[in-house]
């Protein structure tokens, strides 16, 4: 029974029995994996404090049950637990939202070291309270880009016409903005989105803005972009994320 070792971020866990839990990790080497931690809920378990939600750890697991994609967690050693994230609910909800997105938008055993680094960077920023709201938007843009769901936000997704309006309509079904001509008859449009906010989001996704602490974004633009992302993510995932309602 082979053992595997990798850096991991805990993105979810569920109770399996009175003493055990199933953890979902996003790992640097293997992408998203699920592993059963036997006895982890016992008072004297060596894993207590090392696999908390959102923690960054080194994990060791066996891949003997790969047929069911459920591995057995044998050891974990925490590098970072990000205690400050839990001190303020906005920080905690933002970090949990990122974790829930990764859990729902990635496939099992499909690694992306870049995505792992982006999630880890977001957790570190939230822990230090650096680039608060903008950091989450940047992460979401990069996740959409890496997963192939980044929408078209500069040109009409139907005819390719360059947008020159201050507000635009967005079609979740088509995955991009639509001009007034192409929007005729299109259902479920999101109307009156500020074009400058979508342009900012696109630049964040493409890493054209790297010093996030210096990026200034008004509360109203943040709210509008957040509402747009919540609706788009709900559409592509075909469900509402539990954490979305807690974001400002």
Confidence of residue 248 (pLDDT cuts 50, 70, 90): low
CB neighbour list of residue 223: distance below 8 Å, 6 or more residues apart: 248
pLDDT surpassing 60 at residue 103: yes
Q: List the chain domain ranges.
A: 1-81, 85-248
160-206 pLDDT, tens digit per residue, is 999 999 999 999 999 999 998 998 888 889 999 999 999 999 999 98
CATH 3.90.1170.50 fits 1-81, yes or no: no
197-231 pLDDT, tens digit per residue, is 999 999 999 888 777 777 777 888 888 889 899 99
Superfamily name and number for 85-248:
Recombination protein O, C-terminal domain (1.20.1440.120)
Across residues 148-167, what is the average pLDDT?
A: 94
Q: What angle do CA 136, 141, 145 make, to 5 degrees?
A: 145
This prediction has a pTM of 0.91
Q: Which residue has the higher pLDDT, 130 or 37?
A: 37
Within 10 angstroms of residue 37's Cβ, the number of other Cβ atoms is 24
């Amino acid at each position: 029974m082979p053992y595997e070792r990798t850096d991991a971020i805990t993105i979810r866990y569920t109770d399996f029995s009175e003493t055990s839990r199933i953890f979902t990790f996003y790992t640097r080497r293997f992408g998203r994996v699920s592993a059963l931690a036997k006895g982890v809920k016992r008072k004297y378990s060596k894993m207590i404090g090392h696999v908390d939600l959102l923690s960054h750890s080194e994990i060791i697991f066996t891949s003997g049950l790969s047929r069911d994609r459920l591995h057995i967690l044998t050891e974990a050693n925490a590098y970072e637990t990000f205690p400050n994230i839990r001190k303020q609910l906005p920080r905690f909800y933002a970090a949990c939202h990122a974790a829930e997105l990764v859990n729902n938008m990635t496939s099992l055993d499909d690694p992306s070291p870049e995505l792992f680094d982006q999630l880890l960077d977001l957790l570190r920023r939230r822990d230090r309270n650096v680039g608060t709201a903008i950091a989450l938007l940047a992460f979401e843009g990069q996740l959409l880009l890496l997963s192939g769901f980044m929408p078209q936000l500069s040109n009409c997704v139907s005819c390719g016409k360059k947008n020159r309006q201050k507000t635009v309509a967005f079609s979740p079904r088509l995955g991009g903005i639509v001009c007034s001509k192409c929007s005729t008859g299109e259902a479920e449009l999101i109307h009156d989105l500020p074009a400058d906010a979508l342009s900012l989001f696109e630049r964040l996704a493409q890493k054209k803005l790297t010093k996030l602490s210096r990026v200034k974004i008004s509360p109203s633009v943040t709210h509008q972009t957040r509402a747009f992302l919540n609706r788009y993510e709900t559409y592509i995932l075909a469900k509402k994320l539990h954490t979305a309602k807690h974001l400002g």
